[in-house]
Structure 1
Amino acid sequence: MGLGLVLLAIHKGYRFIAVMPAKYSLDKQILLRYMGAELYLTDPALGFPGMYDKVEQLQKELPNVHVLNQVTNKANSEAHFRLTGMVVSSVPMHWRHCIWYWKVSENAKPRRQNHLCGAPGKHKIQGVGSGFLPEVLDTSVIDETVTVTTEEAMENAKRLAKEEGLLVGISSGANLAACLKVALREENKGKMIVTMFPSGGERYLNSDLFADVREECLAMTF
């Protein structure tokens, strides 16, 4: 979302300011700055509330500020329904409107959840398990939640790269991990499980996802 907004700001001649927790990947920070965005980092320990506090502070200090808040802006979910969702609905099958949502908790034994948890444990899966429910989220259409650990998410992201040639990010690995849990259920034997991979791996080169190969490459000699 950030890079798309930067491109729009460039073409419109707008000043663009991005605010994100410091735990977000260095690659994302570099790309935003490279494209000319101003960047403010917030204390990861404060989570999303700390990030929004910084946004409110900037909104008070700067003139003519418009905040594009994807968790409260109904146009965001509507765009996904009309555009992103159409990619899936173009498949010649009958789809039931369904949202899969998962809670992520580091070093926790995965377990099925039948409700959304507002206070997830510490984890390294960027973009999910933020500890609050977005205003635009319609929880009435959610059937269940599936717990995924950081380790499972990263393991499956690496599997997608090595086994399928798909360079995806950590949250995509979490999607696959959740789908595999669902697919293993007896009642789902022989059924097709569908998901989407919303993150690209090139945005995580400086994260723990690439730690082993990054250290290997840095240690290479000629």
Structure 2
Amino acid sequence: MTDFARRTLDALAEVAVRLGHTPVVSLGDGIFGKDEGKNPAGSVKDRAAFYIVRDAVASGALAEGAPVVEATSGNTGIGLAYICGLVGIRVVLTMPESMSTERRKMLADYGAELVLTPAAEGMSGAVARARQIVEEEHGFFADQFGNPSSVTAHFETTAPEIFAALPGVKAVVAGVGSGGTAMGIKKYILENGIDCEVYAVEPAESPLMSKGFAAPHLIQGIGANFVPALVDISAFDGIVTVKGEDAVKEVGALFRDHGLASGISSAAAVLAARALRPRVKGDILAVLPDNSERYGEGLYR
């Protein structure tokens, strides 16, 4: 192991204690939310970002002086910028120009270098540009959509936390961005023989997994215009679609009724959980990926 790897892994070990152990809150009618916005950089992606960086350093895939490069709709980039900023690793991020200015500002505040790609190209355009930068700068491609470290993060941390907090939960609902959260939880359920279903959430306007087509939508962070390599659609017990306008309205309702400053994708997960209420006989947990601060103004109206 190189001196760089040893130093960086020691520093990352100190970061690890800050991650996870997020609260589970009751939303009524046997529905609960795991508030991932309470992670240090504000989202569920902090977990995956940590595992991706740690595993890359440990394996030698990330060498001293090389940048971490990623295509991101915001949260993964924020998590990577946070983790890498703490241990002195350069980060270059690509993202569609349609992403909110709040997300861009947060990335810049953490020291990330941001490259915007045409909105019409969606996340696939951001991925293509990230791969170009990796070649140009000899960087490490974090590859959130295909890196198994993302699944491992949720298998080893998020899932055990869920079942420790709610041992009898019968369904977990998670939006699919990279797919790491849902796939990691499903893997944990299968390997431990737990009686619990996993439902994926996607935008009704862009139902790629359930109906085979993608289109623009309002729910940032989920519903990429391609099926990520990490995702096995057949692993899900069902796919629930949520309209973007409904999710935006639900953000305000969650704040007024429960005091939760949740983001749009969190609201979508809650709406999906409610839609499942008639068919699931037992507690339902919705993974709430982030908070509202990175979505722009006016969400609580």
TM-score scaled by structure 2? 0.61
Paired position in structure 2 for 1:92:
167
CA–CA distance in 1 between the matches of 2:134 and 2:212? Answer: 26
Find 2:267's aligned residue among 167, 173, 177.
173
Q: 2:149 aligns with which of 69, 75, 84?
A: 75
Instruction: Find the residue that maps to 1:23 and give its secondary structure.
Output: coil
Q: Whole-Å Cα distance in 2 between the matches of residues 150 and 209 of structure 1?
A: 12
Indicate the SS of the match to 2:288. Answer: coil
Please report how far the alpha carbon of residue 3 of structure 1 lies from its aligned counterpart in structure 2 after TM superposition: 2.6
Gaps of 5+ in 1: 213-222
Q: CA deviation at 1:23?
A: 1.4
Give the gaps of 5 or more residues in structure 2. Answer: 1-75, 170-193
CA distance in 2, matches of 1:103, 1:6: 26
The corresponding residue for 2:213 is: 119
Distance 1:66 1:118, change over 3 A: farther
Residue 19 in structure 1 maps to residue 113 in structure 2 = no
Judge conservation of contact 1:20–1:41 (CA < 8 Å) in 2: yes
**Structure 1 residue 97: deviation in Å?**
4.9
TM-score (norm 1): 0.81
Shift of 1:133: 1.4
Q: CA deviation at 1:131?
A: 2.1
Q: Displacement, 1:13?
A: 2.2
Instruction: Assess, with a 3 A threshold, how the Cα gap between structure 1 residues 160 and 116 changes in structure 2: closer, same or farther.
Output: same
Report what 1:57 is aligned to: 132
Say whether residues 1:209 and 2:299 are aligned partners: yes
* 1:196 counterpart (287, 290, 296): 287
Contact 2:263 2:291 in 1 (8 A): yes
Instruction: Report how many residues are paired.
Output: 200
Cα deviation for residue 34 of structure 1 reads: 1.4
Letter in 2 for 1:55: A
CA drift of 1:122 comes to 2.0
Offset at residue 120 of structure 1 (A): 2.6
Alpha-carbon RMSD: 2.2
Residue of 158, 178, 200 corresponding to 1:101? 200
Provide the secondary structure at the position in 1 that maps to 2:105: helix
What's the offset of the Cα at 1:135?
1.2
Q: Is the 8 A contact 1:70 1:76 kept in 2?
A: yes
> Which structure has more RCO (C-alpha within 8 Å, separation ≥ 6)?
2
Question: Is the contact made by 1:98 and 1:141 (CA closer than 8 Å) also made in structure 2?
Answer: no
Aligned twin of 1:129: 223
Once the two structures are superposed, the pairs formed by residues 138-153 of structure 1 within 5 Å of their partners are 138-153=232-247
Q: Which has the higher strand share?
A: 2
Write out per-residue CA displacement over residues 1-42 of structure 1, whole angstroms, 9 at most, x where no aligned residue: 323322332233222111111111211100111121100111
The DSSP-based 3-state class of the residue aligned with 1:145 is: strand
Partner Cα separation in structure 2 for residue 116 and residue 9 of structure 1: 36
- Alpha-carbon deviation of 1:116? 2.9
Task: Choose 1 or 2 for highest CA Rg.
Answer: 1
Is the Cα–Cα contact under 8 Å of residues 168 and 197 in structure 1 kept in the other structure?
A: yes
Supply the distance in 2 between the matched residues of 1:76 and 1:135 (Cα, whole angstroms).
12
Q: Which secondary structure does the structure 2 equivalent of 1:147 belong to? A: strand
CA distance in 2, matches of 1:69, 1:144: 26
Query: Shift in Å at residue 198 of structure 1?
Result: 0.9
Distance in 1 of aligned mates of 2:94 and 2:195: 36
3-state DSSP class of the match of 1:195? Answer: strand
Measured in 2, the distance between the counterparts of 1:116 and 1:150 equals 16
